[in-house]
Chains A and B, each alone.
Chain A
Amino acid sequence: DVKVTQSSRYLVKRTGEKVFLECVQDMDHENMFWYRQDPGLGLRLIYFSYDVKMKEKGDIPEGYSVSREKKERFSLILESASTNQTSMYLCASGIPSVYEQYFGPGTRLTVT
């Protein structure tokens, strides 16, 4: 079974803090994704990585950066957390040319 794990289920941070969200997959997938999920807006892609050290901006990259130093690990960084970044963050992985994405359980981040 594919397993995508995320470092925290729940996280509370203060405005201005630097926040790291970690994602690890165990299936040697090339592609990894970070989404945020908000009521009424659905899942929106923040960043995508198709290989180690390779990344592409998604639809809403502002205020976020990513790091992929190893194939299995993809980190999302909030450089200076703001209250409008309070959301559910979902990581996913997949293989190029295969439609399925495998999602982690999500991290519910609250910025106060």
Chain B
Amino acid sequence: QKEVEQDPGPLSVPEGAIVSLNCTYSNSAFQYFMWYRQYSRKGPELLMYTYSSGNKEDGRFTAQVDKSSKYISLFIRDSQPSDSATYLCAMQTSGTYKYIFGTGTRLKVLA
């Protein structure tokens, strides 16, 4: 079993839809939870970061962490064609340099 599981998609939604992207994990020591966005032929860029449990909102994006269920989510409201990208979750334990990445979910927002 992988430490971090992420549905690869692809996920196609109409413009304006609410998108839900998810990852599950098995290591209860993870404390830092990140979402990266990767456009085609580019490197990943950090979108959202959450420490431990809870919610974090930034504009149209909301990140949620449920440590009891070992489940994290990224919600995108009012999705736009420019949101079409691969979304990678990443997790880290405190005091280490190492990320564990999910495999990424490819999202396509149709105009």
A binds B: yes
Report A's interface with B, CB cutoff 8 A.
Answer: 4, 9, 31, 33, 40-45, 48, 50, 58, 90, 92, 94, 96, 99-101, 103-106
Q: How large is the interface on B (under 10, 10 to 19, 20 to 34, 35 or more residues)?
A: 20 to 34
B34 touches A99 (CB 8 A): yes
| A–B complex contacts, Cβ < 8 Å, 26 sampled | A4-B43, A9-B41, A40-B103, A42-B6, A42-B88, A42-B101, A42-B102, A42-B103, A44-B101, A45-B98, A50-B97, A58-B98, A90-B43, A90-B44, A92-B43, A94-B97, A99-B32, A99-B49, A99-B51, A99-B92, A100-B46, A100-B49, A101-B46, A101-B99, A105-B43, A106-B41
Interface contact B42-A43, CB-CB below 8 Å: no
List chain B residues, Cβ under 8 A from A48.
Answer: 97-98
Nearest residue in B to A50 (C-beta to C-beta)? B97
How many residue pairs link A and B with beta carbons under 8 A? The number is 50
> Binding site of A, secondary structure by majority: helix, strand, loop or mixed?
strand
Contacts of A33 in B (CB 8 A): 97
**B1-52: which have CB < 8 Å to A?**
6, 8, 32, 34, 36, 41-46, 49, 51
How many angstroms from the CA of A99 to the CA of B43 in the assembled complex?
A: 17
**CA A58 to CA B101, docked complex, whole Å:** 13
CB distance from B104 to the nearest CB of A (A): 6
- Across the A-B interface, give the 7 residue pairs with the lowest CB-CB distance, nearest first: A103-B43, A42-B103, A43-B101, A42-B101, A99-B32, A103-B44, A100-B46
Inside 8 A of A50's CB, which chain B residues have their CB?
Answer: 97
Q: For A99, what are the chain B residues with a Cβ–Cβ distance below 8 Å? A: 32, 34, 49, 51, 92
